[in-house]
Structure 1
């Protein structure tokens, strides 16, 4: 019987990319962002104090996105997305209930080689 460590491993997880979401400005915002879920569900944070930053692993083939909404006091906030440490997009929300969305495409995972 062969005893290689590879046979005992669990099923490999979907390949991911490190995605950093960042929101700067003053005050608080409501935000939602694509988390590490393979189902594509969004994580939400109400009344996030700025600055706010979060790094998550997003499955390849998903589109990481963050949406921010200012409150009735208005103000200004900026969202940004970086993939694997490289800045991809930023946008600014301003004014009463101002909104902004930042997103970035991730490449689809490479097809598994059949042998």
Structure 2
């Protein structure tokens, strides 16, 4: 009695195999007819298109590469005579990683200028100029995208001027 169940399963498997062979035979005869009609050139054309699309995907669709962060060019200028201590926002290093940091120039010889690519996430762009014990006059100026945003002047001993500019968001 235990042999009847496996025999039924074997009969079903044999029927399924026969049906699968019949389908394969019909499909293979259709493909043989198509290949003999269109031939190898069609197969090569399809393979060529696949290679081109794959190459383009590797070239332009890097996948692992992060898009460059949105930045705005900010220019800082300090004019005057003598030297001054200068601090300014410089939030991108090597144009890749976003790092909000400040550049410091102690006893910088005037006139002085610098520029930085700044993201809106870093807060306002700022340049600060502070005179020493000898005083004098110094002015700071900040431009965003080539347009002057603010100017300020420091005078007397330890005089200080601060120029600030908001970084505009990405234009849509």
1:57 counterpart residue number: 117
Question: How big is the alpha-carbon RMSD for the aligned residues of Structure 1 and Structure 2?
Answer: 1.8
* 2:106 paired residue number: 46
1:25 partnered with 2:77: no
Query: For residue 155 of structure 2, what is the aligned residue in structure 1?
Result: 94
CA-CA distance at 1:110 after TM superposition: 6.5
Conserved in 2, the CA contact under 8 Å of 1:14 and 1:60?
A: no
Aligned residues: 111
- Tell me if 1:36 matches 2:91: yes
In the alignment, structure 2 segments of 5+ residues that lack a partner are 1-49, 93-97
TM-score, normalised to structure 1's length? 0.87
Corresponding residue for 2:61?
Answer: 7
Q: Distance in 1 between matches of 2:82 and 2:136?
A: 8
Tell me how far apart the structure 2 counterparts of residues 102 and 6 of structure 1 sit (CA, whole Å).
41
Counterparts of 1:94 and 1:15 in 2: how far apart (Å)? 37
1:68 CA displacement: 0.8
CA deviations over 1:90-111 (Å, ceiling 9, x no partner):
0001000000100100123469
* Structure with higher strand content: 1
Any idea what the Cα deviations from partners look like across 1:24-54, whole Å, max 9, x if unmatched? Answer: 0100000110003333211101010000011
TM-score normalised to structure 2 length? 0.60
- Return structure 1 stretches of 4+ with deviation > 4 angstroms: none
